[in-house]
Amino acid sequence: MLHVVVAFVAPLTVEAQPTERPARIGLLGTASLSDARVPRLLHAFRQGLRELGYVEGQNVVIELRLAEGQYDRLPGLAAELVRPKVDIIVVAGPPAIQAAKRATETIPIIMASVGDPVTTGFVASLARPGGNITGISLMLHELVAKQLELLKEVVPKVSRVACLGNPANPAYAPQLRHAQDAAQALGVRLQVLEARDRGEIDSAFAAITAERAGAVIFLGDTVLLDHRTRIADHAVRRRLPTVFPLSESVEAGGLLAYGPSLADGFRRAARYVDKVLKGAKVADLPIEQPTTFELVINLKTAKALGLTIPQAVLQRADRVIQ
């Protein structure tokens, strides 16, 4: 079992005493340490702490628990953080949030990213979350229409688009409704497919090929994000243009992404940690939503698909992967 302990230090406040116990922050995730996004997200969290004046060596310790893609390990990993009673648990994605929520009703839980915490039932409302959970909402369902519009702009002749999501994710239903509404408005026929794991992802692509969809839109989900490289490989082999909610999938070989930054969510989560350590009540800390969104395009993938990205779309891109 992977146990990684990362130490951080912060300058003591005027009121703090040298003998104070270091604050212990648990960080619970679904991915593997070998996943390229994990070091980047940890760096963003560390940077967020540094921006608040925290530096290595004195009063903060982060205990990292990663499920290595095995979601059934999450309850046990959450319990490992709760038993010695860390001061705060930072989590990302519904599976990890749910595990932390079930493990404790008292330790503050900070969500570094979640599609829609109200729909998933993690909080009562955005303004007053209540309970012991608050943090960053990506509000992914509100972006599905824009993602489908971009896909249609890049592949204007597409008439049938596959839509792949994970029905086990509580945020699946609202995202799907937005996708269906957007497809109808754009005159696109939507082929709805479900995938809960790696095997169902493979089966979904077989169905996409059989039904001859011309492109694929992916709903936000931790499982699909964890398998982003496999998904990108499937799509390129089948010459399918793709659009995703997060840029990590485009870095792995997807075509387009439009949505918020995961790294920014982890950086902003550090502010919640700071507030809670200074005495703020989690129930009274409003859920924050993204303030900026990025359009990322993979030109290497476009070339492999035989696509020319319209200049109007390229000019709007925040980042282009060559």
Q: Write the DSSP symbol of residue 237.
A: H
pLDDT of 13 reads 38
171 and 130 in a single domain? The answer is no
What 3-state DSSP class applies to 275?
helix
Query: Which ranges constitute the DSSP H helices of the chain?
Result: 37-51, 74-82, 94-103, 144-154, 172-186, 198-211, 222-226, 228-237, 247-251, 262-277, 299-305, 311-316
Question: Which CATH number goes with the domain that contains 240?
Answer: 3.40.50.2300
Domain that holds residue 239: 140-259+294-321
| CA 226 – CA 231 distance, rounded (Å) | 10
User: 46 lies in a domain?
Assistant: yes
232 in the Ramachandran plot: left (φ > 0), alpha (ψ -120 to 50) or beta?
alpha
Q: Could you tell me what percent of the chain has a pLDDT over 90?
A: 77
Question: Domain for residue 96, yes or no?
Answer: yes
Q: Are residues 132 and 247 in the same domain?
A: no
- Measured distance CA(142)–CA(44) in Å, rounded: 25
Among candidate residues 317, 276, 311, the one with its CA nearest the CA of residue 296:
317
Q: What is the pLDDT of residues 204-221, one digit of tens each?
A: 999 999 999 999 999 999
| One domain for residues 145 and 133 | no
- Residue 190 falls within a domain, yes or no? yes
- So what's the pLDDT on residue 141? 85
Q: Is 302 found in the same domain as 159? A: yes
pLDDT, position 160: 97
**Pick from 264, 212, 286: which is nearest to 48 by CA?**
264
35 in the same domain as 131: yes
CA distances to 183, 242, 243, 254, 256 from 215, rounded to whole Å, are 12, 6, 8, 11, 11
Is residue 205, in this structure, part of any structural domain at all? yes
Low-confidence residues of the chain: pLDDT under 50: 1-19
- How crowded is residue 252: how many other Cβ atoms within 10 Å of its Cβ? 20
Domain-located, residue 113:
yes
pLDDT value of position 5:
36
| Alpha-carbon gap, residue 133 to 93, rounded angstroms | 13
Q: Is 69 domain-assigned?
A: yes
25 in the same domain as 76: yes
- At residue 115, the pLDDT reads 85
184 and 165 assigned to the same domain: yes
Do 97 and 28 belong to one domain?
Answer: yes
Cβ-contact 61, 5 below 8 angstroms? yes
- The beta strands (E) that lie in 114-170 are given as 133-135, 160-165
pLDDT of residue 57: 65
Answer yes or no: pTM beyond 0.85: yes
For residues 224 and 302, membership in a common domain is answered with yes
Number of domains in the chain: 2
93 and 180, same domain (yes or no)? no
Q: Is 93 part of any domain?
A: yes
One domain, residues 174 and 106: no
Separation between Cα atoms, residue 177 and residue 181, nearest integer Å: 6
Q: Are residues 21 and 106 in the same domain?
A: yes
Q: At what angle do helices 198-211 and 228-237 cross, to 10 degrees?
A: 20
d(CA 226, CA 92): 12
Confirm whether 108 is domain-assigned: yes
d(CA 314, CA 311): 5
